[in-house]
Amino acid sequence: MERLFCAMAALPFIVIGKGMWEVRNFKITKYQIDTNKDIGDLDGKKIMLISDLHNCEYGKNNEKLFKAIDEVNPDYIMVAGDLVVGSTKYDTDIALHFINTIAKKYEVFYANGNHEQRMRENRHIYGTKYRKFIRSFDKSIHILNNYSYDINDKVRVTGFVAHNRFFSKFKLPEMKRRYIIKRIKKRDRSKYNILIAHSPEYFETYKNWGADLVLSGHNHGGIVRLPFIGGVISPQYKIFDRYDRGVFAKDSTKMILSAGLGSHTINFRFNNRPEIVVFTINSSFKEWLL
């Protein structure tokens, strides 16, 4: 009985200690996405998904993060927003150093998360902070805030940025397909469409728009993850949100949802290490064509 009591008394300290270790030690998660579409020379290329850095650093000047990226040596890096914390208390120096450093070695695609969008929409609070931030990006970075870029003649990458009201707490507004079309136009049916969209909550709408692959973040893996259940709470305070981290599918559309690299407000994770996602898209088009 005494041993049980000691074990129970030690449990909170074990949980807190593990959680504090996790927020400082990221991992690399790998996925393979299959498609029957022709994606040209993107077939088998290494693509890295980074989201939700939130001004966090791994080692001095993020040296551990840069080392891990270099070891993977991706062909492309997709950044799904929230490099910063959208608050007047924080600057953007860490985020700018990070994205401009990786842009010197890799082809980088970027779209705003809700924290950047918050700064963009609320100039009465943030002044010119967002404009200075985005204008400080290396010129080689593809800033896809409701714009598209063709990687080759078969694959198009589009960054979809919703208004900040679609990130409201507790109850999210409905998002219709026509809202997406108004912001990024219709998808090109002749191409494989990759959609960088920060929030995973509107996956059904992204599918209806015509995305083949969605790249998201935002939900931080659910902050605390329970075995067999998954993430406990989302940034919208949604309990046991089905979209926490991993790969999801609706019909032929797939979504890779990163648990993100950083945290804010609640600087804690449990059973939910920060992550860099690396994936390949493998096409069976040539096989069935033959």
pLDDT digits (tens, 9 = 90+) for 204-228: 999 999 999 999 999 888 777 777 7
Q: List pLDDT tens digits, range 23-79.
A: 678 899 999 999 999 999 999 999 999 999 999 999 999 999 999 999 999 999 999
- Between 71 and 288, name the one with better pLDDT: 71
E strand or H helix at 48? strand 47-50
Q: Which domain holds residue 45?
A: 2-289
CATH code (residue 156): 3.60.21.10
At residue 164, the pLDDT reads 93
H-state helical runs in 26-74: 63-72
Cβ contacts of 265 within 8 Å, gap of 6 or more: none
- Secondary structure of residue 212 in the 3-state scheme: coil
Cα end-to-end span (Å), the chain = 69
Q: Which residue has the higher pLDDT, 236 or 9?
A: 236
Taking residues 133-146, what's their average pLDDT?
97
Q: Assign residue 122 a region (left: φ > 0; alpha: ψ between -120 and 50; beta: otherwise).
A: beta
Q: What total of structural domains would you count in the chain?
A: 1
User: Which of these, 216, 167, 210, 169, lies nearest to 190 by C-alpha position?
Assistant: 210
pTM, 2 dp: 0.91
Q: Quote the DSSP letter at residue 267.
A: -
Would you tell me the crossing angle of helices 93-103 and 63-72 to the nearest 10 degrees? Answer: 30
